[in-house]
Structure 1
């Protein structure tokens, strides 16, 4: 179970290698754009409430605490349904479940236009999270079936950047809708925003039901030889990066599972703080109208996505991503700390620190999901991935609620963001020191049992 950071040795490119590369490339062009767009729309439908907040709280007389609780309840639904949704994918196939999930969360997001009280707001946010719960861990498992480690790291960073790009879509479209559609047919702009941003999700979910294959064996664009080559490449990769042989503890008793869940929880704490409060931060930093805020968000997230992809692509050259994941987390931590002292006084510094924070959290998430397959056995990942995702997303429930509560009682978001940054700093320590410690202890226990 090596934890050394080393590059793969260069190998001569054979005709077979070129044929395999071509098969992977054709598959990437058919799979990744569709999943990228669905993940972008998922984030649009979960995070557009942050932009709607600029009007909705005044219209409905919601407190910051009520908003934070409603925003966070999405993740409680996510936690409850994460494992069951992924189990359904294992049973019914990726195409059926992913398309059904997308249509379900799209229809729920449309229903957000009818919010009239905190109770309705809470119920719909919980339901939105319950529908979306299986998508992200399902795509992680889906990528494991399609791509070996090096390709998967790069491809997953591209896929995950959709979460950052979604804020571009929210910013540009949200700013336009709030500014120009308020009062159309007697509806507030924030109600129109929920409808117009959710309809594409429903349509793309229907497309996924037709074109998305369950795996390489079902891909009609591949020849029989190409299918066999991809499946063989995946098998060899799993053998290459498999944990050391031996008797591992049952999954729930496996300390590595809980270490990984703790790390991801810490990373998502900062991610949630940024996702649900960025429009408010920009508004308080002096970015004036809805359109200006939307344009700033779009620029921040475009630059952040570029930074995420560039850093993750560089990290994919190395076998051990832990150090790079830790570095990305520390970039986000430093940016959050600077942001707390800058956003009321300097627009340029606020803009730049948000770019770095978005790039850091994005790369941290992208690189994190390449780590579990190195420390968990292949048979464990189908349950471990949704478990880690579900448990860790409790951060998404706690962070916006506590940040909103702190704002109500103190008049400032500063304490909430400092806390989020401090928690993410813990993830860097656990990545660098915690994982090797657990790995050594597990290996010692295995050796002692064998003796």
Structure 2
């Protein structure tokens, strides 16, 4: 029996709906845990430098500026390889691409334990970003092949929560390693931390290669009928969700590509400020030793992940995610502005503010990635998504470097955090007002003068 089902097939039929729900559920249980695990480990391997920093900087004599520059270099590698990695995935499929990417960043993370100079630190951070570059946009496109808008929004928020939960893994394992493995076999604790946290990545990469299908058509657990129902449901969802984009334009000439890149840049500015400095904030806030800080990070991030999923699930009922993404961004902006005022003197307020900030940035990112699919066809999205991701991830380079540089100059992180919050606030404004304006111009309907 062919996997193709007539596009007019009655999906509203009770039996068809039951089969479709079963197909989606079985796919979610097989796909989401694997992608969640890989994304969690990707963030462990990119962000554990924030925890290692507590021992690594005094051990190696690095300045805050050098740390911020090296932490940010990850994102330059990400920018350079984002689009080429997506092109490779289109040619060889998701299974091979994702597993090779994971093996590469796992091996690079192991190499981080041998860092002795800023040059080596910079090179490995760049290489780590280059390996990871194709994973995130690849997963966005991959989930678009599997799920319609509402289900995809919820599933993507679950997947993205791994980024928040990764800090739980970094905090709990990092605190234990720094406290109990420092000096083992004459090796510093921060070096052991990079090794211990990289090995699971390489194991899960082999699991992905063995089990992950390239799409519904190669999923062995689906029947022919279920594959066909998924295809019909996705086609119907694409028709219902499409937004008018006016005159066609190439990807680079389309202003929507750059507007979306600017919005995501703003969201990632705030996210990078939190990701690379939370352990330092807690350390300066008097939350205790390494293990105690790790436990607090775990609690904050679990609450942030729950808030992300709850907000994103509630927002998935609406076809257009713009307003919900803007609201989540405003929550994040408010918390980041409050943070410098409380983290030196009010531990409960610092805890709550960080949890809300992580929930806001997490939901903002989850909801943002439902927006490009409304303004790009499948062909454009296959390169548009990694292009937007690559351009915006420049924020991941600029923000840590800026915050570290400001700290060395002024002795405080406040100005850097306030700047990151302001950039995300601008992104929220563009979401609400900028996208409709661009659509009007792109459709050849320039705004009329109020005196016309």
Question: Does the 8 Å contact 1:69/1:400 carry over to 2?
Answer: yes
Deviation at 1:245, TM superposition (A): 7.1
Question: Does the 8 Å contact 2:247/2:442 carry over to 1?
Answer: no
Deviation at 1:231, TM superposition (A): 1.2
Distance 1:378 1:324 in 2: 24
Question: Does the 8 Å contact 1:308/1:360 carry over to 2?
Answer: yes
Distance 2:269 2:246 in 1: 35
Deviation at 1:12, TM superposition (A): 6.9
Matched, 1:228 2:228: yes
Distance 1:242 1:278 in 2: 39
Deviation at 1:349, TM superposition (A): 0.5
Distance 2:116 2:273 in 1: 25
Distance 1:253 1:171 in 2: 44
Aligned residues: CA RMSD: 1.2
Deviation at 1:247, TM superposition (A): 3.5
Distance 1:382 1:247 in 2: 20
Aligned to 2:6: none
Tell me, which stretches of 5 or more residues in structure 2 are unaligned? 1-10, 447-452
Aligned to 2:378: 378
Matched, 1:135 2:135: yes
Aligned to 2:175: 175
Aligned to 2:99: 99
Deviation at 1:443, TM superposition (A): 1.9
Matched, 1:299 2:275: no
Distance 2:239 2:245 in 1: 11
Task: Compute the TM-score of the two structures, normalised by the length of structure 1.
Answer: 0.95
Aligned to 1:240: 240
Per-residue CA distance 1:53-103 (angstroms, 9 max, x = gap): 000000000000000000000000000000001110000000000000000
Aligned to 2:278: 278
Distance 2:138 2:12 in 1: 35
Q: Do the aligned partners of residues 375 and 411 (structure 1) sit closer, same or farther apart at CA in structure 2, a change above 3 Å counting?
A: same
Aligned to 1:61: 61
Aligned to 1:38: 38
Deviation at 1:246, TM superposition (A): 5.2
SS in structure 2 of the partner of residue 251 of structure 1: coil
Distance 1:302 1:271 in 2: 16
Distance 2:29 2:260 in 1: 31
Question: Does the 8 Å contact 1:68/1:403 carry over to 2?
Answer: yes
Q: Do the aligned partners of residues 420 and 13 (structure 1) sit closer, same or farther apart at CA in structure 2, a change above 3 Å counting?
A: farther
Question: Does the 8 Å contact 2:99/2:209 carry over to 1?
Answer: yes
SS in structure 2 of the partner of residue 62 of structure 1: coil
Distance 2:235 2:100 in 1: 29
Question: Does the 8 Å contact 1:99/1:206 carry over to 2?
Answer: yes
Distance 2:334 2:315 in 1: 20
Aligned to 1:449: none
Matched, 1:352 2:361: no
Deviation at 1:13, TM superposition (A): 7.0
Distance 1:418 1:182 in 2: 35
Matched, 1:311 2:311: yes
Tell me, which stretches of 5 or more residues in structure 1 are unaligned? 1-10, 447-451
Deviation at 1:382, TM superposition (A): 0.4
Aligned to 1:147: 147
Give the count of matched residue pairs. Answer: 436
Question: Does the 8 Å contact 1:238/1:378 carry over to 2?
Answer: no
